[in-house]
A and B are shown apart, each in its own frame.
Chain A
Amino acid sequence: MIDVFFYIFAATVIAGALGTVLVRSVVYAALFFIASLVGVAGVYILLSVEFLALVQVLLYAGAVTVLILFALTLTRVEELRQRVDGGQRAMAAVGALGLFGVLVAVMSQTEWPRDVNQLTTVPFASIGDAIFNRWAVPFEIASGVLLVALVGAIILAMQEEGEV
């Protein structure tokens, strides 16, 4: 039963991803992207980390994609295939497949330790607790990163006086 869902989500994810990297129209690409993200959220649920799924949907499928769509419309130019895709698709395919091959090889060769094929659900509360004790430092650094991104984005993007 569960695994049916898994395959559905997996299919969504992969289809969405492929769509994102293949289709010609950037807007469609963005839509496929959303689909794939949602699929990932589904996968999280299967992994019974609903919290992540939540964040995924809100942050990604929500904010990020909106942002991206804005950007796309702002930077929109007529979309000919060779403008959207570089001349090195073939090479890209080779590279990606090569990587994929390597990764698959890894997966096939590897016997993951402590893998007893049963998953443990993790309660929200303890996560939050951990974040503010043990992982306080990374958390603060992450906030720093976000701050930087914020400030940077503002400085770079803002229209200033004397600018056309």
Chain B
Amino acid sequence: MNELNLDYTLFIPEFLLVGLVVLVVGLDLFAPQVRKSLLSYATAAGLAATAGISLAWIDVESDFAGVVAVDNYTTFFRVFFMLGAAVIALASGRLVEERLRHPGEYYGLLTLATIGAIGMAASRELMTAYLSLELLSFSSYVLVSYQKYEGRSNEAGLKYMLLGAFSSALLLYGLSLIYGIAGSTYYSDVSAALGAGTSEYEWAMLMGIVLVITGLGFKVAAVPFHMWTPDAYEGAPVAITMFLSTISKAAGFALLLRLFSGAFEVVHDDWSWMIAGISAATMILGNLVALQQHNIKRLMAYSSIGQVGYMLMGIAGLSHETASALVLHMTGYMISNMVVFVVIIAWYVQTGKEEIDEFRGMRERAPLLAGALAGALFSLAGLPLFAGFVTKFILFQAAVDEGYLWLAGIGVTTSVVSLYYYLQVMRRAFVDAPAEGETERLRIPYVMQGLAVILMLGVFYVGLYPQGLFDIVDNATAFLFV
């Protein structure tokens, strides 16, 4: 057995994160008197710092026993996830303080979940990928049901948990089949085995891929594996909804990209149509059902389902171009979505309201939030000046170049549908006058205002001059196709 490269230094950022977890939990435990919002700042700072540190691995191309790769792709997602988590930690501050118990564990779990996400992006081997996924999922299960005295939260948690377990069982079965074929769980070996292209185990391969798609489709909420999404999103604490709709989803795609490009690329034609079909169904159902929603979290759930549909296009016509287009779109989507959630959280913390109708008069009571909301929603709807337009355009164009014009057509059409319900939200925020006796200006904490502004700047950056980001992404995804 050849000499393994067991280089633990590769995981310094993760170790630091673990340290951060210990620190935060300890802080909460042994210094209960400190202001709880301090924890959120600490977590955010730690995550951001680690993100900075992990920049040191740029252009390092190495791996741990072939199990986990540290290349620009990993680095990109490390930074991406850590910064995202930092934003979420900051955004959670007031919410946790006022509505949740055990803040220390909350931030700890958040951080652990981030590690799981990174693992998903980094792993080049099925077992590791699966375990990272479970790490992310378990943390999410706990966090979703974190409002322990809130029936809705528990219910959401239970649904997410049971269905999650169920689908991961399916995923595992699929993995076992693939293992049976390849005799190994390394993506490279799998790819080699499939590449051999003997028809004896074609069916097993197909079944395996179907089940893998099922498991990961559940993770990223693709139709018909999406059913948990609206319920979990609605029940969970808002910040966690934010987490689910951004990082957890992105992690799913990071894994999908790595896995499908690394292991299944060779049999592209055998599975691309599955993804394409799922993508179409996802776009249509997600955006359609969103029309009927009245709870903002639920609406965002469906809208994110729709977004998943677009992103799956990138998987369906998998190639370097589509991959980078996909990651680009994912970035833009994540930033825009975070703006929306920052606004929702701020509004919820101040008014305790999360029904769309209760957004009325936001223009009067919190102009900045209203503005940011409008911008972000336009971005999600894919209108120009904002991130959504460019990224969507490029993603769809990429899909078209891979021969998926019809998918792009559905995508464009459904994004018009999405515009409808986004506009409905905007109508509440801008057109409707505030309800009786609720006209005074809200005092939005500076943290939230700052977040909204900074994220909006991000949205504009991606929307107006994405060359830099696009280059980075392109370079990162290049490592998937060596």
A and B touch in the complex (CB under 8 A): yes
Point out residues on A near B: beta carbons under 8 Å.
102-103, 105-106, 109-114, 133-138, 141-142, 144-145, 147-149, 151-152, 155-156, 160, 163
Which of A134, A138, A141, A156 is in CB contact (< 8 Å) with B116?
A141
Q: Which secondary structure dominates chain A's binding surface?
A: helix
Q: Is the CB of A110 within 8 A of B131?
A: no
Given A141-B128, A156-B148, do A135 and B67 touch, yes or no (CB 8 Å)?
Answer: yes
- B464 close to chain A: CB less than 8 A: no
CB of A61, distance to nearest CB on chain B (Å):
19
Other than the given A110-B204, A148-B109, A156-B145, 14 more pairs (CB < 8 A) read A102-B207, A109-B202, A109-B203, A113-B198, A137-B128, A138-B128, A141-B119, A141-B131, A144-B135, A145-B138, A148-B138, A151-B105, A155-B146, A155-B148
Q: Which residues of B contact A (CB under 8 A)?
A: 4, 6, 11, 64-65, 67-68, 101-102, 105, 108-109, 112, 115-116, 119, 123, 125, 127-128, 131-132, 134-135, 138-139, 141-142, 145-146, 148-149, 157, 177, 180-181, 183, 193, 198, 200-204, 207
Chain B interface secondary structure, helix, strand, loop or mixed?
Answer: helix
Please tell me which one of the listed residues B138, B181, B202 contacts residue A149 in the complex, with CB atoms under 8 A apart.
Answer: B138
Task: Please determine whether A106 and B142 come into contact, CB atoms closer than 8 angstroms.
Answer: no
B237 to chain A, nearest CB (A): 13
Give the residue name and chain of the A residue nearest to B138 (CB). Answer: A148
Minimal Cβ-Cβ distance residue in A for B182: A113
Q: What would be 11 A-B contacts, judged by CB atoms less than 8 Å apart?
A: A109-B202, A111-B200, A113-B193, A137-B65, A141-B132, A144-B115, A151-B109, A155-B101, A155-B142, A156-B148, A163-B149
Minimum-distance CB pairs A-B, first 6? A152-B142, A111-B200, A109-B203, A141-B131, A110-B204, A148-B138
B128 pairs with A152, CB closer than 8 A: no
Closest to A99 in B: B170
Task: Tell me if A106 and B138 are in contact (CB < 8 A).
Answer: no
User: Which residue from chain A places its CB closest to the CB of B6 in the assembled complex?
Assistant: A133
Q: What's the minimum C-beta distance from A154 to chain B, rounded to whole angstroms? A: 9
Q: How far is the CA of A112 from the CA of B178 in the complex (A)?
A: 11
The residue on A at minimum CB distance from B206 is A106
Within the complex, the shortest CB–CB distance from B145 to chain A, in Å, comes to 6
CA distance A138 to B180 in the complex (A): 20
Q: A30 CA to B74 CA in the complex, in Å?
A: 44
Tell me the nearest residue of chain A to B205, going by C-beta. A110
